[in-house]
Chains A and B, each alone.
Chain A
Amino acid sequence: MYPYEGMIAETIQFQGDGGDSVSAYVARPLGTTGPLPSVVVIHHMPGWDEWTREVVRKFAQHGYNAISPNLFHRFGVGTADDVAAVARSQGGASDAQVMADVEGAARYLRALPTSNGKVGTIGFCSGGRHVYLAACSIPSLDAAVDCWGGGVVARPDQLNEKRPVAPIDLTDRMEVPLLGIFGNEDRSPTPEQVDQTEAELQRLGKVYEFHRYEGAGHGFFATDRPAYRPEQAVDAWGKVFAWFERWLSA
């Protein structure tokens, strides 16, 4: 007889930056008392969208409590694409606000009765950059996975009030084990930028693991885009789950 499988996926509110009540999408396995590891899924620039929610449910399918905070919560209520359009026109959410929201989302996960107390984070594209920042600025996290985060290496003219520091310049503060997933045909980050990031991680003796895939570019997990590379994506998802298994087990 097969064991029971089930999950609940729902929108909730949690306390984010400045005590704001922030919306989030949460998926939790049912039929278990735990203890379960948890993951904060950081969405990309197109917003709190369907694909992000699919990723949240994927983690629940694999036995994790998972949450995706709506980083564009403060830009209004509407469909993900409409809200993302407003967010983009206003320069997106600030790094400081995103970090505080991610920290709040992690607190929400740790407070769940089935939590084992361990929380990791994963992000894609701009969310991958946020993961790198989180690994440097939220030491209470237990693991981090940066999927092709562009802008970790940034020129001074690419910095602004909302993004005042290049994440690579914060590497000395990194206390969270970091997994990086990259496509060698990506242009943001370029292979040279990934080299530069890896050199800094090595120089500072950080705990990290990078996997770089030939024949893949940016966003190669996206099953609804021409960029999808099934062979590389399946392998890389395996690396992601192995990393979280290693660092988030009780």
Chain B
Amino acid sequence: MCTDIIEKASVSGSGKGPDGWFSLRQANVYYDHPFHAPLDHALVIDFVQDPDTPGHRVAVELSFDSAVRLIEAIRAALDSGVDAHAQDLHAPAAAPALEAVR
């Protein structure tokens, strides 16, 4: 289905595009038709610096199962990272939550 549903998360960090690294401000996330992946629907994440300028993004299109595995991997990596670098990070429960807004 074509929808205009989108979840937006403010993020800080860096992404690497064809012109090199740039700082990130926002992640746009939706589950809808992909542009490139040969799937009917995909979990799309656009990591963007300037949400209003075409091309300033790092984009991924993932199958549903892949997206679930990625969520699990991110959670596992954060958990193990907290264990290894407890002096730098808060406990997992207090890890920065993505602020989803419509």
Contacts and interface: CB of A to CB of B under 8 A. Distances in A.
Interface stretch (A70-78, A108-116, A136-144, A198-206): A70-78
Among A77, A81, A163, A225, chain B packs the most CB atoms within 10 A around the CB of A81
B49 to A, nearest CB: 12
Interface of B: 1-4, 6, 8, 26, 28, 30, 32-36, 38-40, 46, 48, 51-55, 57, 59
Among A89, A125, A126, A227, chain B packs the most CB atoms within 10 A around the CB of A89
Chain A interface size band reads 35 or more
Closest 7 CB pairs of A and B: A78-B54, A188-B1, A125-B2, A45-B2, A126-B2, A82-B54, A81-B35
Q: What DSSP secondary structure best describes chain B's contact surface?
A: loop
Contact of B4 (A78, A92, A227): A92
Nearest to B57: A85
B38 to A, nearest CB: 6
A76 B54 contact: yes
B39 A81 contact: no
A40 interface: no
A218 B52 contact: no
A33 interface: no
A83 B26 CA distance: 16
Given A76-B54, A82-B57, A89 B39 contact: no
29 contacts: A45-B32, A45-B33, A49-B35, A75-B54, A76-B53, A77-B54, A79-B54, A80-B35, A81-B35, A81-B36, A82-B57, A85-B28, A86-B53, A88-B6, A88-B30, A89-B6, A89-B46, A89-B48, A89-B51, A89-B52, A92-B4, A125-B1, A188-B1, A188-B2, A218-B1, A225-B39, A225-B40, A226-B39, A227-B40
A44 B33 CA distance: 10
Interface of A: 44-47, 49, 75-86, 88-92, 125-127, 150-151, 163, 186-188, 217-219, 224-227
Contacts of A90: 51-52
Contacts of B34: 46
A4 B1 CA distance: 40
Contacts of A88: 4, 6, 28, 30
Contacts of A186: 1
A89 B8 contact: yes
B38 A76 contact: no
A169 B28 CA distance: 32
B20 to A, nearest CB: 17
A224 B39 CA distance: 8
Nearest to A91: B4
B36 A86 contact: no
A40 to B, nearest CB: 18
A226 B38 contact: yes
Among B2, B3, B32, B36, chain A packs the most CB atoms within 10 A around the CB of B2
A80 B40 CA distance: 18
Contacts of B53: 76, 86
Contacts of A83: 54
Among B1, B26, B36, chain A packs the most CB atoms within 10 A around the CB of B1
Contacts of A44: 2, 33
